[in-house]
C-alpha cells in the first residue's frame, strides 16, 4: 500500500475514535448532568416558611422563636385572603350557617328552661325563635337574591325585640347580618356553577398555605403543611389563578384548551379581590429563602417520600452492597486463582469456565427468584435464623450475581502477571501459596479492583435480586442483618409505580436517583484512586 | 494486637447476625409485622404504618408492594401476616391456602372505583359499559364510531397481574379477551401519564389518580365519585382488602392494624389518599 492512502486511513481512524470518545462524553453529560441537576433540587431549593415550620415541628430543627415569629407574620398576611374566602364561602356553601341556626334554636330552648321563664311566655318565645330560624334557613336555601334578601330582612325586623336581647337568640341577627353583607357581593343564581370552581380555589389555597386556621389537623403529615418549596408554590399558584377549560370548536372535533383567569370566572363577586391579593402577597405569605436541606441524606421519609430524606435507603444500599462484596470477593478471587494456577487447561475446567460465563449472562430476576427459594425459604430458616426477607439473604443473592464478574476479572488479572515474577519468587524458595499471596496477587490487584468496581456498581443498582430477598417499600431502619431494609433502587421503583408521589414530589424522586448515582460514582472514584496508587507502587514510583 | 482486632471483628459480626432484634422477635411474639401485596392498597398501608408507629412505637412493620397475587402467595407461604389485595382472593388461592393450613379472612378497608379515563380534549363524556368493552376488544377503533372526533383509539390497559386489571376485566370484559393492539402498562401512574399525553387514548386508573388533566367518563350514566362508589352505583366499584390468616387474635398487633381503618383517623387517611372510606365517619 502506498504511503498516501495509509496516512489518510490513519487519520480517518483517529478522527473516528475521537468522535466515539466525544459521543460517550456527550452522552454522559446529557444523561448524568440533568439527573444530578434535578436531583440537587431535593437538597438545595427555596424553602418557604412552611418548610421551616415542618422542620421545627417534625424534627425540632431551627430556632423556635424565630420560626414562630415568621409563622405569625405570615399568618397575619394570610388572614386577608382567608377573610375574602370566608365571605364568599358563606353564600356558596351555607351549610355551616344552617347548622349554627339549628343549634341556636336548640340552645335557646334550653336557656329558657334554665332561666325559669313562665311557661306561656316561653312557648311564645320559642315559636318566635322557630319562625326566625325558619326564615334564616329559607334565606340560605333561596336561589334568587331578592327572595333571600326579603327573608333576611324579616329576621332583622325583630332585631329590636327586647325579649331576645342578651339571649342566644340574638345571634340570629348576627348570622342574618353576615349573610346580608355577603349577598350584596354574590349572585345567588350562579351558586351551583361557582361550587365546582370554588372548590378548586379552596383546594389550591389549601395546598399553597396549608390547612386554614381553625380547621382540624389533617390525618396525614403531607396535608398538615402548605407548599414547603417555592417551585411547588408556583405550581399551586398556577392552579389558583388560572382555570383550564376545554371548549368545543366545531362538532365532531377535538376540544380546544382555553386558559381563563380564575378572576374572570368570579367576576362581580367579592372573590375577585382574592386573586390580586394572593398574587401580590404570596411572597410575604410564604417567605421563600434559599435553603440547603443537607439532612436529606440522613432523614427518614414521611408520608411516602413526600417529605423527608433517604437516610434509611442509603444505609440499606451501602449495607447490602458492602456485604455482597464481602461475600463475593474472597470466593471469587480464590476461584480465579484455582482456575489459573492449579486447574490447568483440562476439559472440566473449560466446562467450569463456560458455566461461569453463562452465569454472568443470567438475568438478574432469575437470581432474585433463586434467592427467594434458596436463601429466604430454605437455607436461612434451616440455619435457625428468622424466615422472611433480610439483608443477609439479599446480600447473598447479590454476591452470587456479581461472582462471575469478579471471577472473570480476577482470572484475567492473575493470568497477565508476568511469568518472570512468579519464577523469581519460586527460585528464591517460596512455596506456591506464598508466591501467589505475596507476588501474584499484589501484581494482579489493579485488575481485580476493576472487577470489583464493576460488580459494586452493579450490586448497588440492582433491583430485581433484592425485590424478593431483602427490600421493602416501608419499614424501620434495620438494626440487624436479619431484617429487611429499604434500598435506593427499590424505593425509586416503588415511588414511580405505587402512588402519586412521583407526580406530587418529583424533586424527591430525582433526589433519590441522584443519591444512587452519586454513591456509585463515589464508590468508583475511591476504587479508581486505590487502583491508581497500587499500580504506581507496582511500577516502583 | 492484631489478634484482638480479629476477635472483636468476629464478635461484632456474630452480634449483628444473631443480634437483639433477631432474638426479640421470638421472645416478644408479634412486635414484627410484615405486610405484602397490592400496589394500589400499599400507599394506604404506608400511611397506616406511619400513624401506627406513633401509637405503638415498639412495633416494627414492613410493607412490600409487588402486586395482589404476590400478597396472596406470601400469606399462603407464611411470609407475611397481612396481605394487601385490591381484589378478592381467587378460589384457587383459597384452595392452596387451605391445603397449607391457612384460612384467609378478608377485611375490606376502603372502596375504590376503577375510572375509565380519556384525554380532556376528547369530546366523549359518557359511555355504556358495552361501548368500553368494544374499545378493548377492538370492535371500535375510531372515536368517530362512538360519536366523537375522527381520531384512532389508543387503548391502554394495566398488566394482567394487577388487581385493577382483574376488576376491570371482571366488570367490563366478562369472558371476552382484549385485542392484540392493547398497550399494557405496569402501574397507575404510567397509565395516567400515557393518557395525559395522548389525545386518542383511553385507559383506566383508580379514583385517586383522576384530576383535571384527565377526564373520567360516566359509565352507564353514573360519574365516579365518593357517593356513587360508596353506594356501589358506579358500576366499576370495588372494595380493597387486607387478608389475614384466620381472624386475628383479639388484642394482637395484627388485630389492631386490621381494625385501624375503623377509627376516625384511619378513615381520614383512606380519604386523604384518594380512596373512599367504607363508612361515613
Instruction: Write the DSSP assignment of A28-86 as a string of letters.
Output: HHHHHHHHHHHHHTTTEEEE-HHHHHHIIIII--S-HHHHHHHHHHHHHHHHHHHHHHH
B64 to A471: CB separation less than 8 angstroms, yes or no: yes
- The per-residue b/e assignment along B108-131, b for 16 or more CB within 10 angstroms, e otherwise, is ebbbbbbbbbbbbbbbbeebeeeb
Q: How many beta carbons lie within 10 A of that of residue B210, not counting itself? A: 18
Chain B's closest residue to A301, CA to CA, is B50
Residue B79 predicted with pLDDT over 70: yes
Contact between A313 and A487 under an 8 Å Cβ cutoff? The reply is yes
Q: Which fold has domain B2-111+239-272?
A: D-Maltodextrin-Binding Protein; domain 2 (3.40.190)
Tell me the three cell numbers of residue A287.
417567605
Distance from C-alpha of B103 to C-alpha of B96, rounded to nearest angstrom: 10
Chain B's closest residue to A497, CA to CA, is B187
Q: Per-residue pLDDT averaged across B192-196, rounded?
A: 91
Residue B82 pLDDT class (50, 70, 90 cuts): very high
Residue B21 predicted with pLDDT over 70: no
Residue B157 pLDDT class (50, 70, 90 cuts): very high
Query: Which residues, 6+ apart, have CB-to-CB distance to B67 below 8 Å?
Result: B37, B38, B39, B161, B162, B163
Chain A interface test: which of B9, B15, B20, B21 (most A C-beta within 10 Å): B21
Chain B residues 213-272 within an 8 A CB cutoff of chain A = 265, 268-269, 272
Query: Which residues, 6+ apart, have CB-to-CB distance to A219 below 8 Å?
Result: B47, B51, B265, B268, B269, B272
Contact between B37 and A472 under an 8 Å Cβ cutoff? The reply is no
Chain A residues 250-279 within an 8 A CB cutoff of chain B = 252-257
Residue B158: helix, strand or coil by DSSP?
A: strand
pTM over 0.95: no
Residue B26 predicted with pLDDT over 80: no
- Give A80-128 as a DSSP string: HHHHHHHHHHHHH-THHHHHHHHHHHHHHHHHHHHHT--HHHHHHHHHH
* Contact residues on chain B for A386, CB-CB shorter than 8 A: 22, 25
Query: Which residues, 6+ apart, have CB-to-CB distance to A502 below 8 Å?
Result: A495, A496, A509, B189
Q: How far apart are the first and last CA of chain A?
A: 43
Contact between A475 and A403 under an 8 Å Cβ cutoff? The reply is no
Q: What is the pLDDT of residues B239-251, one digit of tens each?
A: 999 999 999 988 8
Please, which residues bridge with residue B276 across strands?
B111
Q: Which residue has the cell 320559642?
A: A126
Domain B112-237 classified CATH 3.40.470.10? Answer: no
Chain B interface test: which of A299, A304, A506 (most B C-beta within 10 Å): A304
Tell me the three cell numbers of residue A384.
435457625
Q: What pLDDT is attached to residue A407?
A: 92
Judge residue B138's burial from the number of C-beta atoms within 10 Å of its C-beta, 0-12 exposed, 13-18 middle, 19 or more buried.
middle
Residue A252, min C-alpha distance to chain B (Å): 5
Residue B17 pLDDT class (50, 70, 90 cuts): low
- Give A295-342 as a DSSP string: GGGTPPEETTTTEE--HHHHHHHHHHHHHHHHHHHHHHHHHHHIIIII
Contact B60/A at CB under 8 A? yes
Q: Which domains does chain A have, with CATH numbers?
A: 47-60+205-294 (no CATH), 70-183 (no CATH), 307-538 (1.10.3720.10)
Judge residue A499's burial from the number of C-beta atoms within 10 Å of its C-beta, 0-12 exposed, 13-18 middle, 19 or more buried.
buried
Tell me the three cell numbers of residue B101.
393450613
- Among residues A470, A536, A115, A160, the alpha carbon closest in space to that of A317 is found at A470
Q: How many helices (H) and strands (E) does chain A have?
A: 23, 6
Contact B29/A at CB under 8 A? no
B264-272 and B42-55 helices, crossing angle to 10°:
140
What's phi and psi for A455, nearest 5 deg? Answer: -75, -30
Name which of A386, A474, A484 is nearest B22 (Cβ-Cβ): A386
Q: What pLDDT is attached to residue B14?
A: 55
Name which of A222, A302, A475 is nearest B61 (Cβ-Cβ): A475
Tell me the three cell numbers of residue A35.
439527573
* Contact residues on chain A for B272, CB-CB shorter than 8 A: 218-220, 222-223
Contact A315/B at CB under 8 A? no
ipTM higher than the 0.90 cut: no
Ranges of beta strands (E only) in chain B are 32-37, 60-65, 82-85, 104-118, 126-127, 154-158, 183-185, 201-206, 215-216, 218-219, 237-245
Instruction: Give the β-pairing of B60-65 and B32-37.
Output: parallel
Q: What pLDDT is attached to residue B20?
A: 41
| pLDDT tens over chain A, length 541 residues | 688 889 999 999 999 999 999 999 999 889 888 888 888 988 899 999 889 998 888 888 888 888 889 889 888 888 888 888 887 777 777 777 788 888 888 888 888 888 877 888 888 888 888 888 888 888 887 777 788 888 888 888 888 787 877 788 888 888 888 888 777 766 776 777 777 788 888 888 888 888 888 788 888 888 888 888 999 899 899 888 888 888 887 777 788 888 888 888 887 777 888 888 888 888 888 889 998 998 899 888 888 888 888 999 999 999 999 999 999 999 999 999 988 888 878 888 889 888 888 988 888 889 999 998 888 888 888 887 777 788 999 999 999 999 999 999 999 999 888 888 888 988 998 888 888 888 888 889 888 888 888 888 888 888 888 888 888 888 888 888 888 889 999 888 888 877 777 788 888 889 999 999 888 888 888 888 888 888 888 777 6
Contact between B225 and B276 under an 8 Å Cβ cutoff? The reply is no
Q: What pLDDT is attached to residue A344?
A: 77
Dihedral angle computed from the Cα positions of residues A490, A496, A500 and A504, in that order, rounded to the nearest 10 degrees: 100
Where helices occur in A386-541 by DSSP H, the ranges are: 391-415, 419-427, 432-435, 441-461, 464-467, 488-497, 501-504, 506-538
A506-538 and A311-337 helices, crossing angle to 10°:
30
Q: What pLDDT is attached to residue B280?
A: 66
Q: Give Dmax over CA atoms of chain A in angstroms.
A: 129
Distance from C-alpha of A390 to C-alpha of A385, rounded to nearest angstrom: 10
Tell me the three cell numbers of residue A486.
429499604
Tell me the three cell numbers of residue B215.
377526564
Contact between A305 and A508 under an 8 Å Cβ cutoff? The reply is yes
Chain B residues 64-123 within an 8 A CB cutoff of chain A = 64-66, 77-80, 120-123
- Among residues B94, B73, B93, B97, the alpha carbon closest in space to that of B83 is found at B73
Chain B residues 144-203 within an 8 A CB cutoff of chain A = 144, 148-151, 186-190, 192, 199
B187 to A252: CB separation less than 8 angstroms, yes or no: no
* Contact residues on chain B for A246, CB-CB shorter than 8 A: 120-121
The kind and range of the H/E element at B2 are: helix B2-17
Residue B25 predicted with pLDDT over 80: no
What's phi and psi for A479, nearest 5 deg? Answer: -115, -5
Q: Which residue intervals of chain B bear CATH 3.40.190.10? A: 2-111+239-272, 112-237
Chain B interface test: which of A244, A327, A396, A480 (most B C-beta within 10 Å): A480
Residue A391: helix, strand or coil by DSSP?
A: helix
* Contact residues on chain A for B65, CB-CB shorter than 8 A: 473, 494, 497-498
Query: Which residues, 6+ apart, have CB-to-CB distance to B262 below 8 Å?
Result: B279
Q: Per-residue pLDDT averaged across B1-25, rounded?
A: 51
Name which of B16, B64, B148 is nearest A481 (Cβ-Cβ): B16
Amino acid at each position: 500500500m502506498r504511503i498516501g492512502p495509509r496516512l489518510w486511513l490513519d487519520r480517518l481512524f483517529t478522527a473516528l475514535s475521537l468522535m466515539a470518545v466525544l459521543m460517550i462524553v456527550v452522552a454522559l453529560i446529557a444523561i448524568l448532568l440533568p439527573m444530578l441537576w434535578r436531583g440537587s433540587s431535593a437538597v438545595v431549593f427555596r424553602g418557604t416558611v412552611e418548610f421551616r415550620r415542618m422542620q421545627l415541628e417534625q424534627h425540632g430543627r431551627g430556632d423556635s422563636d424565630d420560626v414562630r415569629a415568621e409563622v405569625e407574620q405570615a399568618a397575619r398576611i394570610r388572614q386577608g385572603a382567608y377573610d375574602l374566602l370566608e365571605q364568599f364561602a358563606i353564600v356558596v356553601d351555607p351549610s355551616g350557617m344552617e347548622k349554627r341556626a339549628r343549634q341556636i334554636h336548640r340552645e335557646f330552648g334550653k336557656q329558657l328552661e334554665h332561666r325559669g321563664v313562665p311557661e306561656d311566655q316561653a312557648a311564645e318565645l320559642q315559636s318566635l325563635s322557630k319562625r326566625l330560624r325558619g326564615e334564616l334557613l329559607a334565606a340560605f336555601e333561596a336561589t334568587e337574591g331578592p327572595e333571600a334578601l326579603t327573608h333576611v330582612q324579616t329576621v332583622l325586623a325583630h332585631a329590636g325585640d327586647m325579649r331576645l336581647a342578651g339571649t342566644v337568640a340574638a345571634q340570629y341577627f348576627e348570622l342574618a347580618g353576615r349573610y346580608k353583607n355577603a349577598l350584596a357581593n354574590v349572585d345567588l343564581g350562579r351558586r351551583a356553577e361557582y361550587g365546582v370552581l370554588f372548590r378548586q380555589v379552596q383546594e389550591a389555597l389549601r395546598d399553597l398555605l396549608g390547612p386554614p386556621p381553625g380547621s382540624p389537623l389533617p390525618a396525614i403529615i403531607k396535608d398538615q403543611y402548605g407548599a414547603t418549596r417555592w417551585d411547588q408554590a408556583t405550581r399551586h399558584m398556577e392552579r389558583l389563578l388560572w382555570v383550564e377549560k376545554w371548549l368545543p370548536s366545531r362538532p365532531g372535533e377535538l376540544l380546544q384548551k382555553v386558559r381563563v383567569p380564575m378572576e374572570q370566572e368570579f367576576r362581580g363577586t367579592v372573590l375577585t379581590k382574592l386573586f390580586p391579593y394572593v398574587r401580590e402577597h404570596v411572597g410575604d405569605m410564604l417567605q421563600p429563602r434559599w435553603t440547603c436541606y443537607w439532612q436529606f441524606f440522613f432523614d427518614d421519609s414521611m408520608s411516602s417520600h413526600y417529605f423527608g430524606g433517604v437516610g434509611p435507603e442509603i444505609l440499606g444500599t451501602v449495607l447490602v452492597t458492602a456485604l455482597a462484596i464481602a461475600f463475593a470477593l474472597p470466593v471469587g478471587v480464590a476461584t480465579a486463582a484455582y482456575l489459573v494456577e492449579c486447574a490447568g487447561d483440562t476439559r472440566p475446567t473449560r466446562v467450569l469456565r463456560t458455566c461461569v460465563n453463562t452465569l454472568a449472562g443470567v438475568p438478574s430476576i432469575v437470581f432474585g427468584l433463586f434467592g427467594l427459594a434458596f436463601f429466604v425459604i430454605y437455607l436461612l430458616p434451616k440455619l435457625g435464623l428468622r424466615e422472611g426477607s433480610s439483608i443477609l439473604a439479599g446480600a447473598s443473592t447479590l454476591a452470587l450475581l456479581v461472582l462471575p464478574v469478579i471471577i472473570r476479572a480476577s482470572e484475567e488479572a492473575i493470568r497477565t502477571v508476568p511469568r518472570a515474577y512468579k519464577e523469581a519468587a519460586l527460585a528464591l524458595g517460596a512455596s506456591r501459596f506464598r508466591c501467589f499471596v505475596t507476588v501474584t496477587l499484589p501484581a494482579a490487584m489493579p485488575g481485580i479492583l476493576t472487577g470489583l468496581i464493576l460488580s459494586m456498581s452493579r450490586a448497588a443498582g440492582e433491583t430485581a435480586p433484592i425485590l424478593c430477598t431483602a427490600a421493602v417499600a416501608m419499614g424501620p431502619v434495620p438494626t440487624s442483618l436479619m431484617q429487611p431494609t429499604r434500598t435506593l433502587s427499590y424505593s425509586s421503583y416503588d415511588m414511580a409505580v405505587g402512588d402519586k408521589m412521583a407526580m406530587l414530589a418529583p424533586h424527591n424522586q430525582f433526589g433519590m436517583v441522584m443519591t444512587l448515582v452519586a454513591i456509585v460514582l463515589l464508590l468508583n472514584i475511591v476504587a479508581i484512586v486505590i487502583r491508581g496508587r497500587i499500580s504506581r507502587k507496582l511500577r516502583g514510583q | 494486637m492484631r489478634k484482638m482486632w480479629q476477635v472483636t471483628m468476629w464478635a461484632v459480626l456474630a452480634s449483628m447476625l444473631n443480634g437483639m432484634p433477631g432474638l426479640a422477635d421470638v421472645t416478644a411474639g408479634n412486635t414484627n409485622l410484615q405486610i405484602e401485596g397490592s400496589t394500589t392498597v400499599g400507599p394506604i398501608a404506608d400511611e397506616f404504618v406511619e400513624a401506627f408507629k406513633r401509637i405503638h412505637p415498639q412495633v416494627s412493620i414492613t410493607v412490600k408492594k409487588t402486586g395482589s397475587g404476590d400478597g396472596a402467595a406470601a400469606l399462603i407461604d407464611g411470609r407475611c401476616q397481612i396481605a394487601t389485595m385490591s381484589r378478592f382472593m381467587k378460589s384457587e388461592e383459597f384452595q392452596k391456602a387451605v391445603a397449607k393450613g391457612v384460612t384467609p379472612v378478608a377485611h375490606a378497608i376502603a372502596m375504590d372505583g376503577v375510572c375509565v379515563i380519556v384525554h380532556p380534549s376528547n369530546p366523549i363524556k359518557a359511555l355504556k359499559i358495552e361501548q368500553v368493552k368494544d374499545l378493548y376488544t377492538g370492535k371500535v377503533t375510531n372515536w368517530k364510531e362512538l360519536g366523537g372526533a375522527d381520531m384512532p383509539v389508543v387503548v391502554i390497559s394495566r398488566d394482567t397481574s394487577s388487581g385493577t386489571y382483574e376488576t376491570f376485566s371482571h366488570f367490563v370484559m366478562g369472558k371476552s379477551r382484549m385485542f392484540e393492539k392493547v398497550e399494557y402498562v405496569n402501574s397507575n401512574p404510567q397509565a395516567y401519564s400515557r393518557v395525559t399525553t395522548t389525545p386518542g387514548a383511553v385507559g383506566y386508573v383508580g379514583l385517586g389518580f383522576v384530576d383535571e388533566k384527565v377526564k373520567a367518563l360516566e359509565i352507564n350514566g353514573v360519574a365516579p365519585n365518593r357517593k356513587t362508589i360508596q353506594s356501589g352505583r358506579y358500576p366499576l366499584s370495588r372494595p380493597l382488602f387486607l387478608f389475614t390468616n384466620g381472624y386475628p387474635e383479639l388484642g394482637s398487633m395484627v388485630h389492631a392494624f386490621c381494625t385501624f381503618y375503623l377509627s376516625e383517623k384511619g378513615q381520614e387517611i383512606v380519604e386523604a389518599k384518594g380512596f373512599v372510606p367504607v363508612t361515613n365517619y
